[in-house]
Structure 1
Amino acid sequence: MHTASSASMDSPASSLSAARAGRAVGAMFFSIFGGAWLVLWSNATFGVQAVPLALIATVSLGLFLFAWLQYRKNRAALAAESETPERKRASRIFNFVNAGQWILIFISSNVLINMGLSAWVIPAAIFIVGLHFLPLAQVFNNLPHYLTGAALMLVAVAYPFATAAGPSSPLGCLGAGLILWASAAWAVRPLSVRAVNIE
């Protein structure tokens, strides 16, 4: 039997608020990591130039602040939901997947470098980052994560063959950064109860 407070926590409005906060947390990470990939692209393309770096920093900070404000507005609902067994399980899986991502990047980078294939470190890293979104999409019932992951993996596989520079081309960093920025913007869009149910 639900108490008044638990009924409120399970209400569509509360679930919507928790979903907004959860997606905002993701958007904060996307904005920063997207900016980091774009800094790599900018430095490889233009050298260390103040103007492109300032533009990247401005957009990253803008996306981050917008997401943070959305998170702050809805964090109480997310905190209440985080005590449920489902959310605790999702959090454990997230930590496992995230740790696995960094371990795979570390191992693959060292293997490629030792094989004399250091130019392939970036496409491998982009592919692994994309891959880690797939289990998270299911765990958090967030269908756009499938699209983000698939887009990153496609970029990682395709861009080394798109230019004469091969895997050394900065196009991979550009693609990864823009995909993560787009994912951040999508994550903080206005959500309806129906959108939460289908995502």
Structure 2
Amino acid sequence: MINESGSRKLSENRPVQGAVIMSVFASMWEILGVSGLIPRVSAPALFCIVALAAAVAVTAVTLTIRFGALPGQRRMRRVAPNSFRVFGQVNIGQTVAVVAAILLLGRLGLWLYVPAAVCLIVGLHFLPLARSFAQPQYWWTGALLMALALAAVLTLAGGVDAANVRVLLGFGAAAVLWATALHVARRG
């Protein structure tokens, strides 16, 4: 996975590709977390927070690419022969479930619960991928995202301000996904 100049070719390393995609989605969750801070901070402070969040996102993606799978002995994974078909089916199912959750919660007037529902669905989507791609860390990724979703629902139901819940859910999901991305990229 290292070319003659010593740099990694992203197209030759599927785990690193997946890690970069995960980092992009982590950045989207980070944006949700930042949105929870908006009502509480001044415009200059918000600018600094957004700049810091952007720097963290860029750094996470860069580190994932740069310090991904190390050369040398790599762990042998038994990837299911139909893993990319499973990947496609799982992601289509995830998309349908997210759209259905948004429509249902919107129809019921429960818009504040949409981020938690999306986090739950994203967490669930990691479970079949763990086996298909022989990535056991996806089990804990899915479990942590589902736990965050449950925590968000319970705090919302308990009367906690929705902005606080967005901070918890957004930054929590981003941290889980970035940790998984780096772990996947390093293990190969």
**Unmatched runs of 5 consecutive residues or more in structure 2:** 1-9, 72-78
Counterpart contact for 2:23–2:181, Cα < 8 Å: yes
> In structure 2, what is the Cα distance between the partners aligned to 1:174 and 1:100?
25
- CA shift digits 1:103-124 (9 cap, x unpaired): 1000111011101111111110
1:148-193 CA deviation, whole Å, 9 max, x = no partner?
000000110123324632666212222111111111222233x3xx
Higher-RCO chain (CA-CA 8 Å, sequence separation at least 6): 2
SS class of match (2:159): coil
In 2, are the aligned partners of 1:24 and 1:67 still within 8 Å (CA)?
A: yes
**Counterpart contact for 1:160–1:166, Cα < 8 Å:** no
Q: Secondary structure at the match of 1:188?
A: helix
The structure where helix makes up a greater share of residues is 1
Is 1:164 the equivalent of 2:159? Answer: yes
Q: Partner of 2:138 in structure 1?
A: 145
Distance in 2, matches of 1:115 and 1:39, equals 25
1:124 aligns with 2:117: yes
**Paired residue type of 1:22:** R
> Counterpart of 2:76?
none
1:28 aligns with 2:23: no
Number of the residue aligned with 2:91: 98
Contact 1:27 1:183 in 2 (8 A): yes
The counterpart of 1:65, out of the listed 51, 62, 65, is: 62
Q: Which residue of 2 aligns with 1:177?
A: 174
Aligned length: 163
Over aligned residue pairs, what C-alpha RMSD do you find? Answer: 2.9
Alpha carbons of structure 1 residues 156 and 72: separation in structure 2 relative to 1, 3 Å:
closer
Q: Could you tell me how far apart the structure 2 residues matched to 1:150 and 1:134 are?
A: 8
Q: List alignment gaps of at least 5 residues for structure 1.
A: 1-17, 75-84
SS in 1 for 2:13: helix
Structure with max Cα Rg: 1
Q: What TM-score comes out, normalization by structure 2 length?
A: 0.75
